[in-house]
A and B are shown apart, each in its own frame.
Chain A
Amino acid sequence: MNTEEYRSQLTALLRSLPREEREEVVSFYMESIADRIDEGMSEEEAVASMVSPGQAAEAIIAEAGEKRKALVPCEASVDRNDEPDLPEGVVDIEGAEDANVESGEDDPASPDGFFARAKTRRFTPLEWVALIVTSPLWLTLLIAAVACALVLVIGIAAIALALYICAWTLIACLWLIGGAFVVSVPVVLVFAVWGLQIGNAPFSLVNIGYSLMLFGGGMWVLKAALAVTRAFLRWQKESVAVRFSRRGRDFAEEADLADAPNTTNLAHDAAGVSAGSDGVLEDGAAVEAFGAGTAGASSIAARTKPYALFFRICWMLALGGIACALVGFLASGLDWRVFLTSNFSLGKMYLGGMEVAHPEQLFLSPHFLIELASS
């Protein structure tokens, strides 16, 4: 055995020790060999006069007193008969590893094998870095991060969709309210006829006022619904469809240029009013104008669009309806019951507080229709 072989065997047997300590031990033994050679021995003689690497390692480990430390497997070149005879209390991990090979505990991929090795070894900083970087925990964290991102995206999308549906529902409600107002006009007019039939003129006046208010107001509500629908569609087109289109900004600009005159006209149409003398409306002006419409604004609308006159008439009808209802109320001697349409009490029918002696004679009443059908 030469010096290098001695060094490699001793180094291999002491691999369980910290690197600095191992190097110090090996250098001590190398120094002794070198001193022997300086004294005139040949290299082989010098090495032969030393204790074997196994004995040296045994003594060093026993002295270290690290009961749980152990020798790592020797290199293939190490003579197994030269392995140290470990003292009691020092674990021969090599022997343990031989025993574990069959049980699979030493499998590097096995968690048991890994932790067993981790307990008996000190990792270098580089090994720690490698352990952390290659930890399967990162995959778990990545999956969790992706899941969180997905949940966030889906949540935002769900909220956006819910708001979108709510907006359309409100618009639909506006259409329904306006439509219901207009559709109910004939029904209210029938009540007015019934009032005349039973001689309750104030009741008829009030119901005629109702019908005028319902028609005028209903038409304005429908107009507002149309304006809101257009405004929402325009916002949707500009804020959602255009921004996400593949053509991007160019398409948006084209759309703006193409829609600009129409948009202004539509706003005029919807509102029938203008907040300023230049005729330019902002988004939502139609709705605001509905609530705060003025006669001056109506006159501008009448000049600009033919059908604006219709809405002006509707506006006047609504006002006239209010006046008509008030006149009916005054004519009744301020009897609030004229505002009631009809009610039944103890088998009798009342219209505007007045009992109806012959309900079957009322125009288009259920009795009337039945008799009409039978005749």
Chain B
Amino acid sequence: MDAQLKRGFLDACVLATMAQGESYGYQIIKDMPPSLGMSESTLYPLLKRLESKGLIEARKAEHNGRLRKYYSLTEKGRVTLDDFLQSKQEITDVLVYVEHAAGAGASSRPPARRAEQA
């Protein structure tokens, strides 16, 4: 998936992951769809941004003799996630439009040009 396109979905994916319950960095990465290619270098800035916006909150707890940071969804984060889900139809419409427009364009293109591009 294109990086710019991915970027738009990352926030929603992380919020959705936490909607199931509080989680920690590595667990969030594992829970995310592999197609997004989430890594720590992507996740950490994202978590910081969401935390600064008040969409998630963090706490530290001991685990196996070390401290682990757990993240959970705030009420504001939940509202934001709901808003994103509300826009599902709009996203679908955009995808459908792109699909149809691209298909129509491909079928109306002259054969010579199609051969060139091929």
Contact = CB atoms under 8 A, between A and B. Distances in A.
B66 interface: yes
A63 B44 CA distance: 9
Contacts of B66: 31, 34
Contacts of A62: 45
Nearest to A63: B45
B40 interface: yes
A36 B44 contact: no
A31 B41 contact: no
Interface stretch (A51-59, A122-130, A293-301, A337-345): A51-59
Contacts of B44: 25, 28-29, 56, 59-60, 63
A98 interface: no
Contacts, number: 53
Contacts of A28: 25, 40, 44, 69
A79 B41 CA distance: 18
A35 interface: yes
Contact of A31 (B45, B48, B68): B68
B23 to A, nearest CB: 11
Interface residues of A, number: 21
A28 B25 CA distance: 8
A32 interface: yes
Contact of B26 (A35, A59, A60): A35
B24 A31 contact: yes
Contacts of A64: 45
A51 B41 contact: yes
A28 B51 CA distance: 14
A187 interface: no
Interface string B30-54: 0000000001111011001100000
A59 B25 contact: no
Interface residues of B, number: 18
A50 interface: yes
Contacts of A51: 39-41
A25 B41 CA distance: 10
A35 B41 contact: no
A36 B24 CA distance: 12
A256 interface: no
A38 interface: yes
A34 B27 CA distance: 12
Contact of B40 (A29, A34, A39): A29
A59 B69 contact: no
B64 interface: yes
A102 B84 CA distance: 54
Contacts of B24: 31, 35
B41 A32 contact: no
Nearest to B42: A59
Contacts of B25: 28, 31-32, 35
A56 B48 CA distance: 14
Contacts of A29: 40, 44
A60 B41 CA distance: 7
Interface string B4-19: 0000000000000000
Contacts of B68: 31, 35
Contact of A38 (B42, B49, B64): B64
Interface string A278-308: 0000000000000000000000000000000
B26 A31 contact: yes
A56 B45 CA distance: 10
25 contacts: A25-B44, A27-B69, A28-B25, A28-B40, A28-B69, A31-B24, A31-B26, A31-B66, A32-B26, A34-B64, A34-B66, A35-B25, A35-B26, A35-B68, A36-B26, A38-B64, A51-B40, A55-B41, A56-B40, A56-B44, A59-B42, A59-B45, A60-B45, A62-B45, A63-B48
Closest A-B pairs by Cβ, 4 of them: A63-B45, A35-B26, A59-B41, A51-B41
Given A25-B44, A35-B25, 4 more contacts: A31-B66, A32-B25, A59-B41, A63-B48
